[in-house]
Amino acid sequence: MNTLVKPLLFPALLTIAIFLASGTSNLATPDVDFPLSKDKIAHFLVFGLLATSILRTPQLINRGWKGALIAILLTSAYGASDELHQALTPERSVELADWIADTAGAIVAVWVYQNWALYRNLLEWKPIQRCKRPVEQAG
């Protein structure tokens, strides 16, 4: 797979999944007895994952705080566009609190990725390493 396409695949698939979920009138969500809104928690976690996946792209990963800021801004902008998309979906509404949860999730996830080595190493862990086969010598 192309070296440019492969790192962008997960963020692209995640944005498509978010777009498709936003376009449905009734989302099936688990019934969790939790004091905070499960909707806001879902926004926080999903957009945090999106921000982390954007930050991990080769274009941003080694740019320090600038890369982190770009990942957060892109995620926040996508969160805003997601809310506008929901405005066009029957039985859905725009909520400023959802966008705040999206942006807060992006900020926290990017900060954790950059500052907590255990989390970063877990995301970067590759359980199966590809072995390069030795070149066979002609005899």
Whether residue 37 is predicted with pLDDT greater than 90 in this model: the reply is: no
Query: What size, in residues, is the chain?
Result: 139
CA pair distance 119, 28, nearest whole angstrom: 29
pLDDT band at 34 (very low <50, low <70, confident <90, very high): low
User: pTM here?
Assistant: 0.76
d(C-alpha 88, C-alpha 123), whole Å: 35
Whether residue 94 lies inside any domain: the answer is yes
Q: Would you say residue 114 lies in a domain?
A: yes
Is 52 contained in some domain?
A: yes
Looking at residue 48, what is its pLDDT?
95
In a domain, 47, yes or no: yes
pLDDT at 3 over 70: no
Phi, psi dihedrals of residue 132, rounded to the nearest 5°: -80, 125
With CA atoms as reference, report the closest residue to 56 among 114, 2, 135, 116: 114
**Which are the contacts of 98, defined by CB distance < 8 A and separation ≥ 6?**
39, 40, 43, 79, 82, 83, 86
- 70/78 Cα distance (integer angstroms): 12
Section 61-68 average pLDDT: 88
Domain residue limits at 112 = 37-124
On whether the CB atoms of residues 61 and 125 are closer than 8 A, the answer is: no
Does 22 fall in a domain? no
The model's confidence at residue 105, banded by pLDDT at 50, 70 and 90, is very high
Whether residue 5 is contained in a domain is answered as no
Give me the number of domains the chain comprises: 1
pLDDT at 31: 52
Across the range 64-86, mean pLDDT stands at 92
Percentage of the chain modeled with pLDDT above 70: 80
Model confidence at 21, in pLDDT bands (50, 70, 90)? Answer: confident
Average pLDDT, the chain: 81
Q: CA 101, CA 48: separation in Å to the nearest integer?
A: 9
